Structure 1
Amino acid sequence: MTTNKHELATFGGGCFWCTEAVFQEIAGVEKVVSGYTGGNVPGRPTYREICSGLTGHAEVVQVTFNSQIVTYEDLLVIFMTSHDPTTLNRQGADVGTQYRSVIYYHNETQKEVAEEVVKQMGSYFSDPIVTEISPLGTFYDAEEYHQDYYKNNKQQGYCTVVIEPKLTKLRKMYADKLKKSVSE
């Protein structure tokens, strides 16, 4: 008998283009989908509506991972160190509730692990962590042009100025957690 070791994790750490690019490089991550969740209006939101900040949704990524290769705790630590979890509703020049630092848990075990990791990470930062930990509501895939954004737009200014430094940091800090094609 085999057991399914595929799990889901959902994180919001500012612009989903950055967060998506980070998790796509991690061994054991099989799929990363940019999307929206955490809102308070009915129906599928559009990117334009999300950017208004009026829907309450956050830009997030939903990560499908093999827990036999990478643990949820590992993903949380990578998430917490790949963005600034101490700035409320902001990541760099991206400002608004849609850019909040948030962990959406899929079950009580994820909630407990997230709370413990956030607590442990407190000493890593000089300012208090403001990362929200909330139950996952409805997840909506973002529009197609947002998917694989960095892979498809590496020469775009945002990618070179904002995403590439995050990936450089990731590769330095977590070389042992990268997919072989990235670390070679």
Structure 2
Amino acid sequence: MKTFILGGGCFWCLDAVYQKTKGVSSVVSGYTGGHFPDPDYYSVCSGMTGHAEVVAVTFDEDVIPQETVLDMFFALHDPTTLNRQGYDVGTQYRSSMFYMTDTERALFEEAIERNQTLWTAPIVTEVTRVGTFYPAEDFHQDYYGKNPDAGYCHVIINPKLAKARKYYSRWLTA
């Protein structure tokens, strides 16, 4: 099993897609990349902690290749906008990849290069060594699965799920 820690805007969006991805055994929404100990949602949203909203995606490489997990990440958000995804603005929504080893860092950098061909503007995804990962509050875990009728899910998450199904249907469950 392998775990990637990825930030691409609101963690609910990445969580929703990876929860439905074959070979993914766990998705944990959380915070990392900042300087504030034991952050919570409200402190992270203040933009003062330095943390990003992220997901820790644990998957089985025998089921889904790591390159596919990373390519999905680049398809699910706009990695060319600095500190913003749609209406979510601030450093906590930055496009980010947090590596644990130099090998993983190189893999992330290769994924950026590979996916740059899909974007006209330069990818600004931050690649940083991971610090402490803080799981988000229970309310944020599997948000889409628990709240599929919420407005945010209809307006923001459902289009991302539709895009994932269009390009990665082989890897997604119902």
Class of the TM-score when normalised by the shorter of the 2 chains? over 0.9
2:90 to 93, 96, 100: 96
1:31 to 26, 30, 33: 26
Deviation of residue 162 (structure 1)?
Answer: 0.1
Whose radius of gyration is greater, 1 or 2? Answer: 1
**Structure 2 gap ranges (5+):** none
Deviations 1:150-183 (A, max 9, x none): 011111110100000000000010011113xx1x
1:111-130 equivalence runs, <5 A: 111-130=105-124
**Structure 1 gap ranges (5+):** 1-5
What residue in structure 1 maps to residue 64 of structure 2?
A: 70
Deviation of residue 121 (structure 1)?
Answer: 1.1
Structure 1 ranges of 4+ moved more than 6 A: none
* Contact in 2 for aligned 1:36/1:142 (Cα 8 Å): yes
What is the CA–CA distance in structure 1 between the aligned matches of 2:83 and 2:13, rounded to whole Å? 15
What residue in structure 2 maps to residue 40 of structure 1?
A: 35
What is the CA–CA distance in structure 2 between the aligned matches of 1:79 and 1:66, rounded to whole Å? 16
User: Which letter does structure 1 place at the counterpart of 2:15?
Assistant: E
Deviations 1:68-93 (A, max 9, x none): 11122111100011100000000000
Q: Secondary structure at the match of 2:117?
A: helix
User: Which letter does structure 1 place at the counterpart of 2:123?
Assistant: I
TM-score by length of 2: 0.98
What residue in structure 2 maps to residue 3 of structure 1?
A: none
Deviation of residue 108 (structure 1)?
Answer: 1.6
What is the CA–CA distance in structure 2 between the aligned matches of 1:129 and 1:112, rounded to whole Å? 16
Q: Secondary structure at the match of 1:162?
A: helix
Deviations 1:20-57 (A, max 9, x none): 0011111100010000000012x200110000000000
Q: How many residues align?
A: 174
User: Which letter does structure 1 place at the counterpart of 2:150?
Assistant: Q
Aligned-residue CA RMSD in angstroms? 0.8
Q: Percent identity?
A: 52
